[in-house]
Each structure stands twice: as C-alpha cells, then as structure tokens.
Amino acid sequence: MPHISGFWDRPPKPVPPRGERKPRNTGRSRPPDSGFSPPSSRKPGMPPAVLPLAILGAGAAGLFAGCLAGEAGLPALLLERKSRAGCKLLMTGNGRCNLTKEIPVAQMLADFGGAMESFLAPALNAMPPRSVMAWFGRHGVPLKTMGDGRVFPASEKATDIAHALVDTLRDTATPICLNAEVLGIRKENGLFSVQTRTFALQAKSVLIATGGVGYPKTGSVGDGQKWAQALGHTLVPYRPGLVGFVFEHPWIHRNAGRTLPRTTVRIRIDGRAVYEGDGQLDCLSWGLGGAAAYNASRYTGRECPRAFTLEWEADGQTFRVETPKTRPLKESIAVIGGVPLDEVDPQTMSSRLCEGLYFAGEVLDIDGPTGGYNLSAAFATAALAVRSVQRGNGGRDEQREVL
Ligand SMILES: Cc1cc2nc3c(=O)[nH]c(=O)nc-3n(C[C@H](O)[C@H](O)[C@H](O)COP(=O)(O)OP(=O)(O)OC[C@H]3O[C@@H](n4cnc5c(N)ncnc54)[C@H](O)[C@@H]3O)c2cc1C
C-alpha cells in the first residue's frame, strides 16, 4: 500500500498573524453515527472499510473538496496519481495563482457564457468569489485584488494556496494518498469499487476531480472522463480553450519577444466582428500568446468557425491573419470538452446517470476566460459536490459556515 500522507516536502509555512490562525488538530471528530464501519472493526489509523467519499484527483477541485469534507466532518480520502498534490495549481498565474475574480456572480456567469452560465449558477451562488477569498483568508493566506478584480495571494506565491489546502487536509485528518493512480471505478451492489495500481477501496460516493487534458505532465490526462464514459456518460470532444495562435506574419517576425501590456484582439467572420477583447498580447516566434490571444482562442475553440480573421491592434495599426492554427491541446490552459453538462445535476454536481457519482472542476465541459474564472469554477463545483454528498449521508449541514 502506498504511503498515505497529508503533506509533501516544502519549506516551512510562514506563520500567519495571531487570530487568523486556526488551532491545529482541533480534534473535530468524525460524527460517531455517520453510518459507516464501526471504529471497532477498523485497525487504528486505517480509513473505514467503506468510505463515505473517495475524491479522485488532488488538483484545485479535489483538494478544496477534501478540505471542505474534512471541515464538515465527512470522512473522505483523496487519491492522486502524482507524487505531489496540486501540480497544475502551482503553475497557475505564472506561479502567482490568480485564484478568483472579485466581481458579482452574475457577471462571472455571463462571462462564462453558453450552457455554463446556467449550469454554474447554483455552484457559484453557493461559493461566490468573496467566499473563496474569505476561506483562504481564514486559512492564513492574505490576498490582494488587482484593479480589474483579479485576486492573488498577497505573496504572489501559488505555493501559499497549495499549502493552505494541504495543511487543512492535515488539520482535519483527511488522508491524501499520493502516487496512487486510479485505474478505474466499478459500481457493484450500490457501492463504488475504486481500483488503484496497488490497492482497491470501496466508497459510497465518488467525486471525480481529475481535471481536463491540458498540460498532461501535471497529471491531468483525461482519466476521469474515461471512467465517466464507462459508467454511462458521453464525452464532449476536446478542443483547446485558452491557447496561442500559430501563424507567419512579417510583424510577428519583427516583434518576436515583445509584450504589449494592453491591446485589442478581434475575431471576424465574413468581415463582422464576432468577438472583441482586451488584454496582454505576447509576440512569440510562432505567433501570438498572452491573455488577449488566449481569450480569442476560447471563442474559436467553442464556436469552431471554418474560416475567420484574427485581428489585433499594435503601434497604431491593425494587423490581420486568416484562420490561424492554434497551439496543441496539451498546451491549453483550459480545455473545452469533457463530461457534458446536461448529464450532471447543476444543483448537486451529481451524475444524472450513475447515483453516487459526482464531478468537480475541469473534468466537466467547463472552461472560462483568463482571470481566475477556471479556479473559481473548480472551487465552487467542488464545494457543491461535497455539500451534496454530506446531505446524502444524512450529515449535519455544518458546511453552511463554509459555503
Ligand atoms: C499554465 C496554467 C496556468 C493557469 N493559470 C490559471 C489562473 O491563474 N487562474 C485560473 O483560474 N485558472 C488557471 N489555470 C486553469 C486551472 O489551473 C485549471 O482550470 C484547474 O487547475 C482545474 O482544476 P481541477 O482540479 O479540475 O484539475 P487539475 O488541477 O488538473 O487536477 C486534477 C488532478 O487529478 C489528478 N489525476 C488525474 N488522473 C488521475 C488518476 N488516474 N488517478 C489519480 N489522480 C489523477 C491529476 O494528477 C491532478 O492532480 C491555469 C492552467 C494552466 C495550465
């Protein structure tokens, strides 16, 4: 059996100011009547024979779900295939972690757009940006909000966000098992059997939080979508969501390596502007990157126009290229596609096809613009899934404090 650990190697966490720090090992005990194997039938230190909740994947969504489960007294175990939790989280915002955007929920939902607007409404209303901020504030991470609403740790270190999450798992005695690649899930006699490379466990509920398929070296390789398919779900095909455009253009050759802090990018179809956005534009040897290009690629990734014009403003001029390619899926910051939203109940994040199965984060067909939207969606869907599992287990709704 692999080592079960609540934390990974890291420098010591800076001690937050007095008053903001939660007491360690508060001794919040699991509810004695939680309906699972009685403690007497367990070896000390071992999880119950049938877990109330197995959380598959310890990225942004899985870690947050584990923390909220622990804080609500819901016994849960996280399984993570990498030797470290939150590999992608540590890369976010160029290592600074833009964890959310301090804007009204209605605006955030409108910016997600499409089917995501209504699907994410229950989750984001229950865990809006200000609640995410309050949660991290309570867990010893001072935050700062930029003029445009983007929220970062004041330290500008994504590690502070990851430490707060992993420390909360430890403080709530929520086990996380690293190097534990899940190979598959089966449902038998109302229980899930979760098979890893080296051991199996049974769980009453399973939360799939294995992410999308971008940056696969961070561990997100699309396994959760395959398990969902095996349990009856379909799959919306993957397309790059936030990614650079690849093309040849004399202006690019002249300006490679230059960053334009704020410029306008448009997508035109048959001459009509169908998308316009502002932001940073990075001129690269192969084309255009940066937030302004990424957000435009989200439009073309979602709408899949056969032909379009990419237009950008620079040096008082307008430049255009016709139907540029994009960088590959594996370089996509957010991936379009995954488990279809109409197969998941937006009020609970539970599968409409397989009882006891829940989803959170990018494994779903959810992708937002740059600016903290994707982590906001991961945190909010995780919180809603945990609350739903807890209610299904007849637990006390202690999460009201959290949500
Ligand atoms: C470079 C980069 C920068 C970004 N910056 C931002 C930003 O600043 N703000 C923002 O909002 N969003 C940002 N994003 C997007 C954001 O990181 C993702 O949307 C978010 O991490 C999704 O969270 P998740 O938990 O769903 O998936 P992930 O964070 O991808 O986590 C999934 C986890 O599941 C594990 N897993 C997968 N398969 C298995 C298996 N078989 N068994 C066990 N475990 C498994 C993986 O190893 C991984 O740890 C960025 C993305 C990238 C790539």
More confident residue, 28 or 64: 64
* 11 pLDDT tier (thresholds 50, 70, 90): very low
The whole-number pLDDT of residue 28 equals 40
Q: What is the pLDDT of residue 46?
A: 57
pLDDT band at 38; cut points 50, 70, 90: very low
Average pLDDT of the segment spanning 314-338: 97
Q: What percent of the chain has pLDDT over 70?
A: 85
**What was the pLDDT predicted at 15?**
42
Q: From the CB of 219, is ligand 1 less than 6 Å away? A: yes
More confident residue, 17 or 269: 269
Mean pLDDT over all residues of the chain? Answer: 89
- As a whole number, mean pLDDT of residues 70-75 equals 96
Nearest CA to ligand 1 atom 49: 59
What number is the average pLDDT over the span 99-110?
98
Strands (E), 114-271: 143-145, 150-153, 176-177, 182-188, 191-196, 200-208, 236-240, 245-246, 259-269
Q: Give 170-187 pLDDT, tens digit per residue.
A: 999 999 999 999 999 999
> The tokens of 15 are what?
């001690």
| Alpha carbon distances (Å) from 270 to 249, 280, 306, 308 | 21, 26, 11, 7
Ligand 1 atom with the shortest distance to the CA of 98: 8
For the Cβ of 82 lying below 6 angstroms from any atom of ligand 1, the answer is yes
Task: With a cut of 70, say whether residue 115 has pLDDT above it.
Answer: yes
Check if 98 has its Cβ closer than 6 Å to any atom of ligand 1.
Answer: yes
* Atom from ligand 1 closest to the CA of residue 196: 42
How many whole angstroms from 88 Cα to the centroid of ligand 1? 5
Q: What is the spatial distance between Cα 164 and Cα 99, in angstroms, rounded to a whole number? A: 13
Q: What is the pLDDT of residues 299-316, one digit of tens each?
A: 999 999 999 999 999 999
Is residue 42 pLDDT above 80, yes or no? no
Query: Is the backbone of residue 211 left (phi > 0), alpha (psi -120 to 50) or beta?
Result: left
Rounded to an integer, the average pLDDT of 131-158 is: 98
Helix axes 60-71, 373-392, angle to 10 degrees: 40
Whether ligand 1 lies within 6 angstroms of the CB of 362 is answered as yes
The conformation of residue 17, written as its DSSP 8-state character, comes to: P
**What value, to the nearest 5°, has the Cα angle with vertex 373 and ends 372 and 374?**
95
Look at the alpha carbons of 112, 113, 117, 119 in this order and tell me if their dihedral is positive or negative.
negative
pLDDT tens for 208-243 read 999 999 999 999 999 999 999 999 999 999 999 999
In this model, does residue 29 exceed pLDDT 60?
no
For 270-317, where are the alpha helices, taking DSSP H only? 291-303
Residue 44: which pLDDT band, with cuts at 50, 70 and 90? low
Does residue 40 register a pLDDT over 90? no
Among the ranges given (70-84, 292-306, 317-331, 385-399), the one the predictor scored with the smallest mean pLDDT: 385-399
* pLDDT beyond 70 at 17: no
Contact 376, 263 (CB under 8 A): no
Say if ligand 1 is within 6 A of residue 214 CB.
yes
pLDDT of residue 394: 56
Q: Are 390 and 69 in contact (CB under 8 A)?
A: yes
Average pLDDT over residues 194-213: 97
Chain mean position to CA 24: 26
